[in-house]
């Protein structure tokens, strides 16, 4: 019997349970990817025809290209179709006479409902349909409190996840049996127009990223060899390259968290390795745990991307300030660490976690702009834009989420800069106007004496903006606004 493997957010051949099952079924295998209608799932990208797209669209284009390459090395071709998956699956079943369909699960709210319906309909037609966990350490429903409910706090969730998980062996990429008789029409990737044009704002991405499974595995090996040992103390330093940068690869499932988990443990447990390395490995794995926690929250509270998890925040009076939003999104706030982060995001499609927290806090608390506006900007510009991580993290910073940082914790962009970018080299990289400024002024150029500014060729208000708000005043305003909603309770 012919089987279809429906690739979604699992664009890889190794450790792919759905693919392994399709191959184990024994007959011809048809690899299929569907670019879905925007309303149906999260495999969707917006604005295809205008060519403006998102950073994720750019990634998807290159990732599909890489998957096509890996399949063709085995003599297979990837079938690409665009539209409603229900209809397309029916057509492909008809064209190939497939009797079974396999996929790895997804967890975004619309996607779960949609998959359930598709599964039911296809089974009614007599097809075998099986789904698997291909993208999380544990299924969101399998990690439970003693009272059999979902977790709202990370640490007990993380402890329960580790207890539950057990050993999950990594599956090698299977040899897919070739059956030239099974032919199926495919659209052309280039016709999907996923890449930005006029202007091509992603033209710097290829210097930084290698989308696809091979790129993901390279990235993992390099990280484990060079940076894991520094991860625990280095992960908060945007001026150092000590984080894994695996997030966009995880976003499209070019690597599984299980592969990362097993490889990290192996790297840290090799004989002769120190306790320090083991501690670094667990600090890193804990971050993967946060990813699972975001999915746990999204699964149990599907309104997470759209609504405050703590309803008292519904009364918060946000500013409608398009000028301030524009300054923030383009990296022109006059606060160097904020501007460096927002420009790193625009130019490379990624931002260091510490700076994501600083920039998000600045938007929400210094500018009092709704976290959903910030999350929407990140969703368009991040190559790792992920509905669960993005929503949970923005709500964490806002203080409106589960196990969130309290609203009254307002990041100070000057002291954060001085602590986590002490020499200012991160700022110098992304805000070249300030590159000649001595380090004592790099995070607060408005306090620099006129002679220092002149020597560094910094002209505040001309080639670098004055701060758009005074942080101390903005902090007081944020706290007062927060007190007002607390007082209302
Ligand atoms: P590493 O430090 O190497 O961590 C390894 C992996 O663990 C990451 O790839 C990621 O999958 C996971 N991880 C790390 N930190 C977190 C975290 N705080 N929450 C959940 N998972 C985490 N991450 C996304 O993948 N997509 C997003 O859209 C996203 N939006 C964010 C928005 C804000 C406001 C903030 C504060 C954080 C956001 N994060 C998001 C989380 C985090 O910043 C990134 O996952 C991380 O910076 C990716 O870099 P890395 O792969 O080098 O991380």
In a shared domain, residues 243 and 260: yes
Does the CB atom of residue 384 touch ligand 1 within 6 A? yes
Which pLDDT score, from 0 to 100, does residue 109 have? 82
Query: Is pLDDT above 70 for 48?
Result: no
Q: pLDDT tens digit string along 129-168?
A: 999 999 999 999 999 999 999 999 999 999 999 998 877 8
Q: What is the mean pLDDT of the chain?
A: 93
Strand order through the sheet with 128-132 = 79-83, 29-36, 2-7, 98-104, 128-132
In a shared domain, residues 349 and 397: yes
Which pLDDT score, from 0 to 100, does residue 273 have? 67
Does the CB atom of residue 354 touch ligand 1 within 6 A? no
| Annotated active-site residue in 201, 287, 319, 332 | 287
Q: Within a 13 Å sphere around the CA of 457, how many CA atoms are in the beta-carbon half?
A: 4
CATH of the domain at 244: 1.25.40.80
Query: Is pLDDT above 60 for 40?
Result: no
DSSP string, 145-192: -TTSS--SSHHHHHHHHHHHH---PPPPPPPPPP-TT-------GGGG
Domain boundary among 276, 300, 324: 300
291 CA distance to ligand 1 centroid (A)? 7
Task: Collect contacts of 261-270 with beta carbons under 8 A, ≥24 apart.
Answer: 261/137, 261/285, 261/288, 262/168, 262/169, 262/170, 263/220, 263/224, 264/224, 264/228, 267/224, 267/225, 267/228, 268/228
325 CA distance to ligand 1 centroid (A)? 23
Query: Is pLDDT above 50 for 49?
Result: no
Residue nearest to atom 20 of ligand 1 (CA): 291
In a shared domain, residues 97 and 155: no
Domain boundary among 300, 331, 349: 300
- Give me Rg for the CA atoms of the chain: 24
Q: pLDDT tens digit string along 405-425?
A: 888 899 999 999 999 999 999
Among candidate residues 384, 402, 389, 327, the one with its CA nearest the CA of residue 155: 402
pLDDT band at 50 (very low <50, low <70, confident <90, very high): very low
158 tagged catalytic: no
Domain boundary among 250, 267, 300: 300
Pocket test for ligand 1, best of 353, 361, 379, 426 (most atoms within 8 A of CB): 353
Q: How far apart are CA 450 and CA 234, in angstroms?
A: 35
In a shared domain, residues 155 and 129: no
Known binding residues: 231, 284, 384-386
Count of domains in the chain? 3
- Residues spanned by the domain of 165: 136-170+213-300
Residue at 182 is within a domain: no
371 CA distance to ligand 1 centroid (A)? 17
Known binding residues for FAD: 231, 284, 384-386
In a shared domain, residues 95 and 160: no
Residue 489 neighbours by CB distance under 10 Å = 6
Which pLDDT score, from 0 to 100, does residue 489 have? 56
Does the CB atom of residue 290 touch ligand 1 within 6 A? yes
Which pLDDT score, from 0 to 100, does residue 198 have? 76
Looking at residue 225, the DSSP 8-state letter turns out to be I
102 CA distance to ligand 1 centroid (A)? 29
Q: How many helices (H) and strands (E) does the chain have?
A: 20, 5
Tokens of 213: 């499974």
Q: pLDDT tens digit string along 351-402?
A: 999 999 999 999 999 999 999 999 999 999 999 999 999 999 999 999 999 9
CATH of the domain at 9: 3.40.50.620
| Annotated active-site residue in 158, 192, 261, 290 | 290
Cα-Cα-Cα-Cα torsion 119, 122, 126, 132, nearest 10 degrees, comes to: -30
219 CA distance to ligand 1 centroid (A)? 16
In a shared domain, residues 272 and 331: no
Does the CB atom of residue 261 touch ligand 1 within 6 A? no
Query: Is pLDDT above 80 for 187?
Result: yes
Which pLDDT score, from 0 to 100, does residue 196 have? 87
Which pLDDT score, from 0 to 100, does residue 46 have? 41
Residue at 192 is within a domain: no
Does the CB atom of residue 135 touch ligand 1 within 6 A? no
Average pLDDT over residues 27-48: 67
Q: pLDDT tens digit string along 241-294?
A: 899 999 999 999 999 999 999 999 999 987 566 888 899 999 999 999 999 999
In a shared domain, residues 377 and 473: yes
Residue at 291 is within a domain: yes
Residue at 187 is within a domain: no
In a shared domain, residues 427 and 337: yes
Average pLDDT over residues 461-469: 98
In a shared domain, residues 151 and 217: yes
Residue at 447 is within a domain: yes
CATH of the domain at 326: 1.10.579.10
Does the CB atom of residue 356 touch ligand 1 within 6 A? yes
Per cent of the chain over pLDDT 90 is: 83
188 CA distance to ligand 1 centroid (A)? 32
Which pLDDT score, from 0 to 100, does residue 56 have? 92
**Strand runs (DSSP E) across 125-170, as ranges?**
128-132
| CB 202 within 8 Å of CB 55 | yes
Residue at 116 is within a domain: yes
| Annotated active-site residue in 201, 282, 318, 446 | 318
User: Is the ipTM value over 0.90, yes or no?
Assistant: yes
Hey, which residues does 2 pair with through a beta bridge? 98
User: Which atom of ligand 1 is the closest one to the Cα of 249?
Assistant: 9
Residue at 74 is within a domain: yes
Residue at 366 is within a domain: yes
Looking at residue 143, the DSSP 8-state letter turns out to be S
371 tagged catalytic: yes
| Annotated active-site residue in 394, 396, 430, 441 | 394
Does the CB atom of residue 228 touch ligand 1 within 6 A? no
Per cent of the chain over pLDDT 70 is: 95
In a shared domain, residues 258 and 331: no
| CB 319 within 8 Å of CB 410 | no
In a shared domain, residues 361 and 221: no
In a shared domain, residues 426 and 394: yes
Average pLDDT over residues 45-57: 60
Query: Is pLDDT above 70 for 5?
Result: yes
């Amino acid at each position: 019997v012919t089987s279809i493997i429906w690739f979604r957010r699992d664009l890889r051949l190794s450790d792919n349970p759905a693919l392994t099952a399709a191959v184990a079924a024994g007959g011809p295998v048809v690899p299929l990817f569907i670019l879905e209608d925007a309303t149906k799932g999260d495999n969707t990208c917006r604005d295809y025809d205008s060519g403006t797209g998102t950073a994720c669209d750019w990634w998807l284009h290159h990732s599909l290209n890489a998957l096509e390459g890996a399949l063709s090395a085995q003599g297979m071709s990837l079938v690409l179709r665009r539209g409603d998956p229900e209809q397309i699956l029916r057509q492909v079943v008809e064209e190939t006479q497939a009797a079974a369909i396999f996929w790895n699960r997804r967890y975004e709210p619309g996607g779960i409902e949609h998959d359930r319906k598709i599964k039911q309909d296809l089974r009614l037609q007599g097809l075998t349909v099986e789904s698997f966990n291909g993208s999380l350490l544990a299924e969101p429903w399998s990690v439970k409190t003693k009272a059999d409910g979902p977790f709202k706090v990370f640490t007990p969730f993380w402890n329960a996840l580790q207890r539950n998980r057990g050993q999950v062996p990594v599956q090698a990429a299977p040899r897919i049996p070739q059956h030239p008789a099974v032919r199926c029409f495919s659209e052309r990737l280039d016709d999907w127009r996923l890449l930005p044009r006029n202007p091509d704002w992603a033209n710097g991405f290829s210097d930084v990223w290698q989308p696809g499974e091979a790129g993901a595995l390279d990235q993992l090996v390099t990280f484990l060899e060079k940076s894991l040992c520094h991860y625990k103390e280095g992960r908060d330093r945007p001026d150092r390259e000590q984080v894994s940068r695996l997030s966009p690869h995880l976003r499209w499932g070019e690597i599984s968290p299980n592969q990362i988990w097993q490889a990290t443990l192996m790297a840290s447990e090799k004989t002769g390795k120190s306790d320090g390395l083991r501690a670094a490995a667990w600090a890193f794995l804990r971050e993967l745990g946060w990813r699972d926690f975001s999915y746990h929250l999204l699964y149990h509270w599907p309104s997470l991307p759209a609504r405050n998890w703590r309803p008292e925040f519904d009364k918060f009076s946000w500013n409608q300030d398009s000028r301030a939003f524009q300054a923030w999104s383009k990296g022109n706030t006059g606060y160097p660490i904020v501007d460096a982060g927002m420009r790193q995001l625009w130019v490379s499609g990624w931002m260091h976690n510490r700076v994501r927290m600083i920039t998000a806090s600045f938007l929400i608390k210094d500018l009092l702009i709704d976290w959903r506006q910030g999350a929407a900007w990140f969703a368009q510009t991040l190559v790792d834009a992920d509905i669960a991580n993005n929503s949970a993290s923005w709500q964490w910073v806002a203080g409106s989420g589960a196990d969130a940082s309290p609203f009254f914790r307002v990041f100070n962009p000057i002291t954060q800069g001085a602590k986590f970018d002490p020499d200012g080299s991160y700022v110098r990289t992304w805000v070249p106007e300030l590159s000649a400024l001595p380090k004592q002024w790099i995070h607060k150029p408005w306090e620099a004496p006129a002679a220092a500014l002149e020597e560094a060729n910094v002209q505040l208000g001309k080639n670098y903006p004055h701060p758009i708000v005074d942080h101390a005043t903005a902090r007081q305003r944020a706290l007062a606004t927060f007190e007002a909603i607390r007082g209302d309770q």
